[in-house]
């Protein structure tokens, strides 16, 4: 579904990604793991059209998407949940969700279906439908930004550090949601610092180091390599 070949990503003179290649097949849950600054978020941003590669190619379902805008990518089924976890604080939960469906707002039946699916998946949001999003807890806001991204009806969901700064019990809830989304047929590329947690739900994993893919493999293959844990995954 998604194929990245030897991309380089820069912020001006800073090379955030030097040479990353990866593949995500339809229906897979793939992780991008690695230390702070390894280039994980930048890689996600390039798939979402926020950061243009200075070298290399990105293809989605056979189409070169490296130069498409974020809006064009949303219409092609790519949704990203950035680690900043930004909600529109003065808008209600429901209004935040409606904004997530902006690109398909004319498809009122489809939007309503997605909204019902999200309220089934995140019952807590259903209870807070009229509440301003700024009054939600961190864990609730994380659920809202995932649900808002899902309102565009993506086929590929890019999740950047959904567990960041959340209490362990809330992290468990978020990971349960990720598993349910995946079971619904969604393809997911997940960036996580919490490697052990992420590998409990993933099919395959890429470990990034200093802007390159240090290694990759199925979850069983990576789990067997105790050396990787101490080198790349923080012990």
Binding-site ranges for ligand ATP (CB under 6 A): 11, 14, 16, 34, 36-42
Query: From the CB of residue 1, how many other CB atoms can be counted at a distance below 10 Å?
Result: 17
Shortest distance (Å) from residue 81 CB to ligand ATP: 14
> Which is closer to ligand ATP, CB of 153 or CB of 192?
192
What is the closest distance, in whole angstroms, from the C-beta atom of residue 114 to ligand ATP in the complex? 28
Q: How far is the CB of 37 from ligand ATP (least distance, A)?
A: 4
Minimum separation from the CB atom of position 41 to ligand ATP (A): 3
Residue number with CB closer to ligand ATP (43 or 114): 43
- What does the block give as tokens for 40? 């994980």
Nearer to ligand ATP, 35 or 201 (CB): 35
CB 40, min distance to ligand ATP, A? 4
CA-CA distance, 25 to 3, in Å (whole number)?
Answer: 9
For ligand ATP, the closer of residues 96 and 194 by Cβ is 194
Q: How many helices (H) and strands (E) does the chain have?
A: 10, 10
Closest CA to 188 of 32, 74, 61, 35: 32
CB of 181 vs ligand ATP, minimal distance in Å: 21
Class of residue 209 by CB neighbours under 10 A (exposed 0-12, middle 13-18, buried 19+): middle
For ligand ATP, which is the closer residue by CB, 36 or 230?
Answer: 36
SS3 assignment, position 230: helix
Instruction: Characterize 120-129 residue by residue with b for buried, 16 or more Cβ atoms within 10 angstroms of its Cβ, and e for exposed.
Output: ebbeebeebe
161: helix, strand or coil: coil
Q: Which is nearer to ligand ATP, 9 or 29 (CB)?
A: 9
Return the H-helix or E-strand segment holding 40.
Answer: helix 40-47
CB–CB of 103/152 below 8 Å? yes
């Amino acid at each position: 579904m998604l194929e990245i070949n030897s991309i380089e990503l820069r912020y001006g003179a800073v090379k955030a990604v030097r040479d990353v290649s990866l593949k995500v097949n339809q229906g897979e849950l793939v992780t991008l793991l690695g230390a702070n600054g390894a280039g994980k978020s930048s890689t996600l941003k390039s798939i979402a059209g926020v950061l243009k590669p200075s070298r290399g190619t990105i293809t989605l379902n056979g189409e070169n998407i490296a130069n498409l805008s974020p809006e064009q990518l949303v219409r092609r089924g790519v949704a990203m949940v950035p680690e900043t976890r930004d909600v529109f604080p003065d808008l209600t939960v429901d209004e935040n969700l409606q904004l997530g469906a902006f690109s398909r707002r004319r498809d009122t039946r489809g939007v309503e279906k997605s909204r019902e699916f999200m309220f089934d998946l995140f019952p807590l949001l259903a209870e807070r439908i009229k509440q301003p999003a700024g009054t939600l807890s961190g864990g609730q806001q994380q659920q809202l930004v995932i649900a808002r991204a899902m309102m565009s009806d993506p086929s590929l969901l890019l999740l950047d550090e959904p567990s960041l700064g959340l209490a362990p019990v809330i992290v468990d809830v978020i990971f349960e949601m990720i598993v349910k989304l995946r079971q619904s047929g969604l393809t997911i590329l997940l960036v996580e610092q919490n490697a052990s947690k992420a590998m409990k739900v993933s099919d395959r994993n890429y470990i990034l180091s200093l802007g390159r893919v240090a290694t990759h493999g199925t979850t069983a293959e990576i789990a067997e390599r105790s050396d990787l844990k101490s080198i790349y995954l923080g012990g």
